[in-house]
Amino acid sequence: MFSKAVKIEQRVEEGKGITTLRFPMDAKVRPGQFVMVWIPGVDEIPMSVSFIGALAGITVKEVGEATRALSSLKEGDVLGVRGPYGNGWHLPPGRVLCVGGGVGMAPIMTAAEGIADRTRVDVAIGARNAGEIIFEERARRASDDVRTTTDDGSYGLKGTVVALADQMMKVKRYDVVLGCGPEIMNRYLLKACKDNSVPCQLSLERLMKCGAGLCGSCVIDGLRVCADGPVFTGEQVERMTEFGRWKRDDAGLRVSL
C-alpha cells in the first residue's frame, strides 16, 4: 500500500476546468483503480488514476471546494496520496469498446492503454461541449477507431456518447464494453449493452470517506463502491435498486439523482 506525501512534477490543463496532476508513485496500479488524495488544509477525496507508471496521475474537474483547491496546485506543490484501492477493469481477450463521458475518460484511458493490440480496442468519447473533450490524441495512440460526440454538436457528432456507442455496437461485434461517466450515462449505456447483447463493466461513483471499505458511506444496495467496485459487471449493476435513482449525501441521507 502506497501512502506518502508526493511532489507534483507535472501539471497539464486538459480542458475547461479539467487538470491533470502527475507525481511519482511507487505502487502497482491496475486500470480502473483509484487513490485517496489529501489536499493539505482542505480535504481528502477519491480520485481515479488517469496515468499508470512511475509518474502516476490524476485528472480533476472543478466541481467543489476540494476539486478547486486540487486544480489550483502547481508543479512543486505537495499533496498526500494513499492507495490504490478497489477493483479495476477486467480486460478479457477479444474486441473491447471503451466509452468515456467527460472526466470519465480518465480511468477509461488506463483500460485502453492496458490492451496491447490497438486493433482490438475502440474508444467512444463524449462531453457536453468541445472544451470538455479530453484525451482524444492519447486515445488515438491506443486505438485505431476513436470517435467523439458532444451534446451541443460543437465537436464531433452531435448527441450523446451512449447513442454513439449503441451505433458502434450495431456495426461491430464487441466482447465487452467498458463505461465510465455520469451515472445517467452509465444507466443508458447498460440498457444499450443489454439491447445489443454485449457484456459490460461500469465504473460507479459514490461519496467515499475512507476508501478502504470501513465507513460504509459509499454503500449501494449492500455493496461498497470503494472495495467491491468501483468497477462492477453489468449483471451486478442491473440488480442495484438505487443505481440511477439515488445516492447518499455527506450526512448519509438518500437523495434523488
Q: What is the pLDDT of residues 115-160, one digit of tens each?
A: 989 999 999 999 999 999 999 999 999 999 999 999 999 999 999 9
Instruction: Please state, in angstroms and rounded to a whole number, the distance separating the CA atoms of residues 60 and 186.
Output: 19
The amino acid that residue 11 corresponds to is R
pLDDT of residue 252: 65
Range list for CATH 3.40.50.80 in the chain: 96-256
Candidates 116, 120, 126; CA nearest to 172 is: 120
Instruction: Please state, in angstroms and rounded to a whole number, the distance separating the CA atoms of residues 13 and 23.
Output: 15
Q: What is the pLDDT of residues 76-109, one digit of tens each?
A: 999 999 999 999 999 888 999 999 999 999 999 9
Candidates 121, 116, 127; CA nearest to 95 is: 121
pLDDT-derived band at 251 (thresholds 50, 70, 90) equals low
Cell digits of residue 216: 460504509
- Residue whose C-alpha cell reads 481528502 in the numeric block: 44
Candidates 146, 29, 42; CA nearest to 96 is: 146
Range list for CATH 2.40.30.10 in the chain: 2-84
Cell digits of residue 99: 466509452
DSSP conformation class of 128: S
Q: At what angle do helices 183-195 and 161-171 cross, to 10 degrees?
A: 20
Instruction: Please state, in angstroms and rounded to a whole number, the distance separating the CA atoms of residues 247 and 252.
Output: 9
| Residue 197 three-state SS | coil
For 145-181, letters b (16+ CB in 10 Å) and e give: bbbbbbeeeebbbeebbbbbbbbbbeeeebebbbbbb
The CATH-assigned architecture of domain 96-256 is 3-Layer(aba) Sandwich (3.40)
Candidates 227, 220, 218; CA nearest to 243 is: 220
Q: With 80 as the cut, is the pLDDT of residue 222 above it?
A: yes
Domain 2-84 falls under CATH 3.40.50.150: no
Q: pTM of the prediction?
A: 0.93
Q: What is the pLDDT of residues 34-66, one digit of tens each?
A: 999 999 999 999 999 999 999 999 999 999 999
- Chain centre distance of CA 173: 24
What is the number of H-type helices and E-type strands within the chain?
6, 18
The DSSP result for 1-32, as a single string, is: -EEEEEE--EEEEEETTEEEEEEE--S---TT
pLDDT of residue 129: 97
Q: With 80 as the cut, is the pLDDT of residue 13 above it?
A: yes
Question: Could you give the percent of the chain with pLDDT greater than 90?
Answer: 82
Question: Could you give the percent of the chain with pLDDT greater than 70?
Answer: 98
Length reported for the chain: 257
